Amino acid sequence: MKGDRHCIVIIDMLNDFIGPNAPLRCPDGEKIVPNLQKLVEFAHENGINVVFVQEAHRKNDADFRVRPVHAVKGTWGSDFIPELRPDEEKGDYIVQKRRHSAFAYTDLDLYLREEKIDTVVVTGVWTNVCVRSTASDALYHAYNVIAISDCCASANEEMHQAGLRDMALFAEVMTLEEYMKEWPNREGAKK
């Protein structure tokens, strides 16, 4: 596992995507909630930065020309699910986005540079869309990239695996258990 300074990036675990009342429900999204909770707890215990990415569109966003209206800033749909809320007292940071990538027109790169992060760990929904887009942009911004396979989800397993296959070309893909086990062995870890 590469890198000394990691940041866990949790993408779009929001009411409009997760749960039975979500209009743009990611059907497998509920399944990854326990793993994401475990990952956040692990991050807090080990001094790993955590960023919660929140899709927050304006009312007449251009995105709605190609997709249904969703995650409008300030609405229930754009809010984090109750099971996975940022804890700002523990240093969690929120990045609001209006496009697929959490890097597109946001301050994510600035935050990561200020925190001296060298490795971006992507999680959340949808593996083949927003997670993959964020991972690609992390690479373009010269970060190491890790994708945690069982902390990402898509509409179905085929889409999920397609996203993981794409990311595997430039990212290290591992399970949550592998990530937690490898953490003490990473490059630059204090021995």
Q: Residue 41 belongs to a domain with what CATH number?
A: 3.40.50.850
Q: What is the pLDDT of residue 1?
A: 74
Tokens encoding 180: 């937690």
Q: What is the pLDDT of residue 97?
A: 96
In a domain, 189, yes or no: no
In contact, 120 and 131? CB cutoff 8 Å = no
DSSP state of 98: S
Find the largest Cα–Cα distance for the chain.
Answer: 52
In a domain, 79, yes or no: yes
Segment 102-134, tens digit of pLDDT: 999 999 999 999 999 999 999 999 999 999 999
Per the structure, the count of domains in the chain is 1
What's this model's pTM, rounded to 2 decimal places? Answer: 0.94
Average pLDDT over residues 34-55: 97
In contact, 102 and 95? CB cutoff 8 Å = yes
In a domain, 26, yes or no: yes
CA-nearest of 79, 8, 85, 83 to 44 is: 8
> Where in the sequence is the domain holding 16, given as residue range(s)?
6-182
* Vertex 15 angle, CA 173 and 25, to 5°: 65
